[in-house]
Structure 1
């Protein structure tokens, strides 16, 4: 029997330092997120970051928390319910970090008689710190607890025509009536070394202005290329002229060389360049979360206005929009058949 497991990032149980700390510990101690030797990672995470970060993160989470709970969890559940109604196979929802574990999701499917699982990591672009860690944990759990299960991993869907169409339609709908000067595509940042580590050719990814637009097998697992390709295809569909859009990367950690240009740096420069009305879309996320709601819709908005901007609009993620849910359901049905 076939079934589907949808997997998103996860969330603390509450916006308090007490609950944020174990969540951050699990997340940052992941060897695919901070990819340094264990002892160094433990020193960095537990000896430095977790001494101050939980309080700051809890304050950020508290600004976006709803009566129903974490926006990411609430939205993912709504999306899951819609998809489930559109297909005739069991669909479970799990998170990579936190209490809604992948093991629980696989167990839920097993209890319903599922032996063949379609695993969909809810990240459009492939990255070591998002896709790989989900795939690796699913493989580990399958071997240890679910040997009778077959797991089929859905590749990154950054350039799938139906995803691009749904994303473009969503952006167009939300920006109707907003005469923006500039549309910024802000993607989650990753360390440059992650790009090189996932380069299957071991030589193509030079991270310059050429490698991402030069055909290569490396593109199958290159986050940077896939971000630029998502932007290119959406811009083409929407007919946005050159010069009226750009792409940046957000959410970096200090100490490493991360993908540039940086979202906050570029946004703060824009008012002086004559960009007074800015719209920002975050296509690395399918569900609104801390990085889209607090970092962009609140903090970036505030800084843009402080630096001379006049209007700022954060385009919501696809969330549980009907067209997006139908796209996922269609992928399920295609796989099932």
Structure 2
């Protein structure tokens, strides 16, 4: 029997330091997130970051927390329910970090008799710290707990026409009537070394301004290329002039060389250049979360206005948009039919 496991990032149980600390510990101690030797990672995370970050992050979570709970969890559950209604295949929802574990999601499917699982990381672009860590964790659990299950991994969907159309439609809807000076495509940042580590050719990714535009097998796993390609397809579809948009990367950690340009730095310089009205879209996420709701819609907006900006529009993610849920259900149906033919 076939089934689907949708997997998103996760969330603390509550916006309190007590619950944020174990969540951050699990997240930051992931070797695919902070990819340094264990002892150094433990010293960095448990000896330095977790001394102050839980309180700071708890305050940020508190600002975006809904009555129903974490926005990321609530929105993911809404999307999950809509998708399940559109397909006959059992669909479960899990998170990479937190209490809604991948193991619980697989157990839910197992209890329904599922043996073939469509493993669906909810990330448009491939990255070590998002897609890969989900695939590796799920495989570890499968081998240990569900050896009779088989997985079909959903690849990055950054350039699938229906996803691009869904994103473009949401953007068009929210941009209607807003005469922006600049449209900012803000993607979650990653260390530059992650790009080189996922380069299957071991030589293509130089992050030099040209490699992302030069055809290569490396692009199947290159986060930077996939961010640029998502942007290219969106602006082409919406007819956005070259001088009206830019691409940036947000959410970096100090101490490493991360992908540039940085969202906060670029946005804060815009008012001085006469760019007073901006819209920001975050296509690395399909679900609104701390990075979109607090970092962009609140903090970036506040800093932009403090620097002389006049109008700031944060475009929501796809969330539980009906057309997006229909697209996901169509991908599930296509997989189920293809898998049936192979069987």
TM-score (structure 1 length as normaliser)? 1.00
Match of 1:38 in 2: 38
How big is each residue's C-alpha offset from its partner over 1:203-261, in whole Å with a ceiling of 9 and x where there is no partner? 00000110000000000000000000000000000000011000000000000000000
Tell me, in whole angstroms, the C-alpha distance in 1 between the residues paired with 2:228 and 2:264.
18
Match of 1:142 in 2: 142
Match of 1:247 in 2: 247
Match of 2:162 in 1: 162
Tell me, in whole angstroms, the C-alpha distance in 2 between the residues paired with 1:158 and 1:329.
17
Match of 2:301 in 1: 301
Q: Secondary structure at the match of 1:285?
A: coil
Aligned-pair CA distance for 1:177: 1.3
Q: Matches of residues 220-259 of structure 1 in structure 2 within 5 Å?
A: 220-259=220-259
Tell me, in whole angstroms, the C-alpha distance in 2 between the residues paired with 1:313 and 1:83.
28
Match of 2:17 in 1: 17
Q: Matches of residues 119-134 of structure 1 in structure 2 within 5 Å?
A: 119-134=119-134
Q: Secondary structure at the match of 2:186?
A: strand
Match of 1:74 in 2: 74
Q: Secondary structure at the match of 2:93?
A: strand
Q: Matches of residues 163-202 of structure 1 in structure 2 within 5 Å?
A: 163-202=163-202
Aligned-pair CA distance for 1:272: 1.0
Tell me, in whole angstroms, the C-alpha distance in 2 between the residues paired with 1:273 and 1:116.
54
Unaligned runs of 5+ in 1: none
Question: Which segments of structure 1 move beyond 6 Å, counting only runs of 4 or more?
Answer: none
Match of 1:280 in 2: 280
Tell me, in whole angstroms, the C-alpha distance in 1 between the residues paired with 2:209 and 2:17.
41
Tell me, in whole angstroms, the C-alpha distance in 1 between the residues paired with 2:144 and 2:216.
36
Number of matched pairs: 337
Match of 1:206 in 2: 206
Aligned-pair CA distance for 1:20: 0.1
Match of 2:65 in 1: 65
Tell me, in whole angstroms, the C-alpha distance in 2 between the residues paired with 1:2 and 1:274.
55
Unaligned runs of 5+ in 2: 338-343
Tell me, in whole angstroms, the C-alpha distance in 2 between the residues paired with 1:208 and 1:291.
27
Match of 1:327 in 2: 327
Q: Secondary structure at the match of 1:243?
A: helix
Match of 2:341 in 1: none
Match of 1:261 in 2: 261
Q: Secondary structure at the match of 1:209?
A: coil
Match of 2:110 in 1: 110
CA-based RMSD? 0.4
Match of 1:90 in 2: 90
Is structure 2 residue 219 aligned with structure 1 residue 219? yes
Tell me, in whole angstroms, the C-alpha distance in 2 between the residues paired with 1:318 and 1:273.
31
Aligned-pair CA distance for 1:317: 0.2
Match of 1:2 in 2: 2
Q: Secondary structure at the match of 1:3?
A: strand
Tell me, in whole angstroms, the C-alpha distance in 2 between the residues paired with 1:106 and 1:198.
27
How big is each residue's C-alpha offset from its partner over 1:131-164, in whole Å with a ceiling of 9 and x where there is no partner? 0000000110111000010111000000000000
Greater alpha carbon shift after TM alignment, 171-180 vs 25-34: 171-180
Q: Secondary structure at the match of 1:248?
A: strand
